[in-house]
Structure 1
């Protein structure tokens, strides 16, 4: 039976046997995020964390919440990079639908929902692109109708008219005709996440687009085993769509700044510069290490890849610049 994409994504990603709840398969087995690409990403996040900590006056307890934590990779690296004083005060929390991973650092708490209130830093890396949404398209009579999908085959048909909530959202955020991915579920999810922050900051890192550059045919796609595949919502692959990042930013209702990842990381010291050739003559081992780091940095800031991510930065009760 064909159903709307939002319900299909919910079942395929988070239902029984869904893509993200399998115990032996994590996101890193199927696609590469900034977290998986290099510890340099965690190092940049740590510098932001230290800025927030200073703005808060180095509180006795600093909450570090990773929403969509995967298998705890980012929190694990951050724990290793933190200076001792900060590590003693930081309370890391992974928010994820899967059970606590085996062997995770005991200091990292694990839960299915976002804790509140948060005093510190909340971060979500490639979480919103997996928040389920509906898709609408225009029929031959010019009417916007929901796109229905067969969960087993991925075959699509046009269903009932778009809901009033969908029409209200797209009238503001996606007015151009075409295949439209209705983003209000992402707006709501991020607004709720940011609302949990009493004092501190929230950072969303994700693929996205703004109103002036909405894709005419949408972005819904699938990933499996490191390859892009058709988005069949049967639980066998990731099903994802880019985020209407400007709508998400406004929905949070607090001040924000948006920059591309390449600009944010360069401002935080990840520039991808190659080491000087002279180092190869004086210290070959150091040269090779620096060359590897430059390659990893290059992947993170690549404008055709991870560097195209948006960084959406909100501050609550403090003034901490992103760049």
Structure 2
């Protein structure tokens, strides 16, 4: 058995700690009473802020992207929109609201999430645990891959963790994980170096994007590339109640790590920054002309607020540094 997949304990659910980080993350995020599956009302939005929550401009940009995909597909009778890691359905709801009525009438919307369906969600939105096969349209995964559980390696061995976050050295790396590090994070192969093994993210993205028969798959996340330099000691961290906290796999907080986007991209993936992608979709942080304040004061105030929201979505050192990974399937580039 792969030590990175070892979940210890009895059939009744008892777990013997320490666990490999991958198993600990799986349990903390998606196990019984896990962070992402608890029906606690607020959901992840009560703990951290994403582009979706920052401004409706983000959903509007995704709606325009879906319209471009629709045009590239020749306006099919059924246009699929798949929202991976949908949270409480905020993004898919916003996209449907931003689409022209004629386009929205052809959309079949799917929210992919392991938590229960939230009360009051638009009945047009199908709630499912996995993306549907044969999608014709857009699959959009905003801040999903950073929560796909992964293993940590240090000095050529797996890192184990207790429920309170205390770490211990584990067994030697299996060949597939050692090979991944050698190709994508070679600095971490030597003794004393630490890295996050992104093979599980590569596999998850390959499987999700393969469900798109024709259209576009997009993953948006904080990430890093080998060309730009990997973070020296990794990025594993936690979030709770709006604050960054220790990455403790107790189910009471998000546990996340940035994504090796170049590894996920494969031979046919295209990488952009969010700043670049949103600019191509018409989201600009430029201030409105001052003359508008004299001719239309209310319009100036609205435009100024919109520019502020756009600036947050595209800011360097913030949301603008997110990576957009695009994988077109059977259509020309639309972004």
TM-score in terms of structure 2 length? 0.92
Name structure 1 gaps, 5 residues minimum. Answer: 139-143
Partner Cα distance (2:116, 2:140) in 1? 20
Q: What is the CA-CA distance between 1:163 and the residue it aligns to?
A: 1.5
1:174 to 159, 170, 185: 185
> Which residue of 1 is the match for residue 200 of structure 2?
185
> Could you report, residue by residue, the CA deviation over 1:127-180 in whole angstroms, capped at 9, with x for unpaired residues?
000000000001xxxxx11111111x1011111111212101111111003211
Partner Cα distance (1:188, 1:256) in 2? 14
2:70 to 53, 58, 62: 53
CA contact (8 A) 2:63 2:96 kept: no
The 4+ residue runs of structure 1 with deviation greater than 4 A are: none
1:205 to 220, 240, 243: 220
1:242 to 218, 239, 258: 258
Partner Cα distance (1:214, 1:320) in 2? 28
Partner Cα distance (1:59, 1:11) in 2? 41
> Could you report, residue by residue, the CA deviation over 1:192-248 in whole angstroms, capped at 9, with x for unpaired residues?
011111111101100000013111100000000111000000001000000000000
Instruction: Answer yes or no: is 1:163 the counterpart of 2:178.
Output: no
Alpha carbon RMSD of aligned pairs, Å? 0.9
SS of residue in 1 equivalent to 2:38: coil
1:267 to 275, 280, 285: 280
Partner Cα distance (1:237, 1:103) in 2? 25
SS of residue in 2 equivalent to 1:216: coil
Identify the range of structure 1 (295-304 vs 269-278) with the bigger mean alpha-carbon deviation: 269-278
> Which residue of 1 is the match for residue 246 of structure 2?
230
Aligned residues: 313
1:145 to 149, 157, 164: 157
TM-score in terms of structure 1 length? 0.95
CA contact (8 A) 1:51 1:320 kept: no
Q: What is the CA-CA distance between 1:269 and the residue it aligns to?
A: 1.0
Q: What is the CA-CA distance between 1:266 and the residue it aligns to?
A: 1.1
SS of residue in 2 equivalent to 1:176: helix
CA contact (8 A) 1:46 1:78 kept: yes
Identify the range of structure 1 (302-311 vs 271-280) with the bigger mean alpha-carbon deviation: 271-280
> Could you report, residue by residue, the CA deviation over 1:1-41 in whole angstroms, capped at 9, with x for unpaired residues?
21110000000000000100111231111111111111111
SS of residue in 2 equivalent to 1:27: helix
Name structure 2 gaps, 5 residues minimum. Answer: 1-16
